[in-house]
């Protein structure tokens, strides 16, 4: 994993909770926020120890949390544990699941993906909300997908529906978070080289920029949306797809 492009003390004294931090976009986002001085709580159902080790090797501060996004009790406990660091100023919701499947998915696949991606993200937002309010400058970035707009690709309808639902959550929470100084935005990645999509037949020839994206290509926009440089941006979806889609 390459180093973040920027290192600073911009987020010094702030606490970021990053879900899905064991790999991919979540891991890269955790490293990008830590490089800017945040104490990062790396949360995942899998061990995020590798991310945490890299973060510390680069001089960052952080802790590891284990949680199951599909279990609301687990989510509430993880958020409460994160808040023990003293505060939660930033939430990056990057955790999720998806299956490469047919047009008509099974009930089991539909329920699991919707429960994890959509309901689990809502549960995380709900649990973190009082802490973001207390911060007075809360920032939320939700990782959705280009599939929310275009559908298709290599994942079933439950995945694209869950990612579209996240955009509705972002706009709802942005509207109601404004009076408390909370900004809520989303990034919608395109074809990003992560373990999540390993082995799927993506062709860079169909991407205007001519290459697949890297997790860091998404992590830097995530850090921007958490920063003061984006202090008048809320309720928006930032597309990060190399020009495949201009939503």
Cα(167)–Cα(142) distance, integer angstroms: 8
Query: Length of the chain in residues, anyone?
Result: 247
Told to judge if 159 belongs to the known catalytic residues of this protein, a careful annotator would answer yes
Beta-ladder partners of 15: 39
List the structure tokens of 67.
């949680």
Task: Provide the sign of the torsion angle of the four alpha carbons 92, 128, 86, 177, taken in this order.
Answer: positive
Decide: 243 and 184 in contact? Cβ < 8 Å.
no
Among 159, 202, 232, 246, which one carries the catalytic annotation?
Answer: 159
Please choose, from the candidates 146, 79, 158, 75, the residue with its C-alpha nearest in 3D space to the C-alpha of residue 112. Answer: 158
Decide: 12 and 37 in contact? Cβ < 8 Å.
yes
Phi-psi region of 141 (alpha: psi -120 to 50; beta: other; left: phi over 0): beta
Cα(124)–Cα(26) distance, integer angstroms: 15
Distance between first and last Cα of the chain: 29
List the structure tokens of 245.
């889609």
Beta-ladder partners of 192: 213
Residues taking part in catalysis: 159
């Amino acid at each position: 994993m390459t180093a973040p492009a920027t290192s600073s003390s911009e987020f010094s004294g702030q606490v970021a909770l990053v879900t899905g931090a064991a790999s991919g976009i979540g891991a890269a986002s955790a490293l990008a926020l830590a490089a800017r001085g945040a104490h990062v709580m790396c949360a995942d159902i899998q061990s995020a120890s590798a991310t945490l080790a890299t973060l510390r090797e680069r001089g960052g501060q952080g802790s590891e949390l284990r949680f199951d996004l599909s279990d609301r009790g687990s989510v509430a406990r993880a958020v409460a544990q994160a808040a023990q660091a003293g505060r939660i100023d930033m939430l990056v919701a990057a955790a999720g699941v998806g299956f490469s499947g047919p047009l008509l998915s099974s009930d089991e696949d539909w329920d699991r993906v919707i429960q994890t991606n959509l309901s689990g993200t809502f549960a995380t937002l709900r649990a973190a909300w009082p802490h973001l309010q207390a911060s007075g400058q809360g920032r939320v970035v939700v990782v959705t997908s280009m599939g929310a707009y275009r559908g298709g690709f290599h994942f079933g309808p439950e995945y694209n529906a869950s990612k579209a639902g996240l955009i509705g959550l972002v706009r709802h929470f942005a509207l109601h978070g404004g009076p408390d100084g909370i900004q809520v935005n989303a990034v919608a990645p395109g074809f990003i080289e992560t373990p999540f999509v390993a082995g799927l037949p993506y062709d860079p020839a169909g991407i205007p920029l001519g290459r697949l994206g890297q997790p860091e290509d998404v992590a830097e926009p995530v850090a921007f949306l958490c920063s003061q440089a984006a202090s008048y941006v809320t309720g928006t979806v930032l597309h990060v797809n190399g020009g495949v889609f201009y939503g």
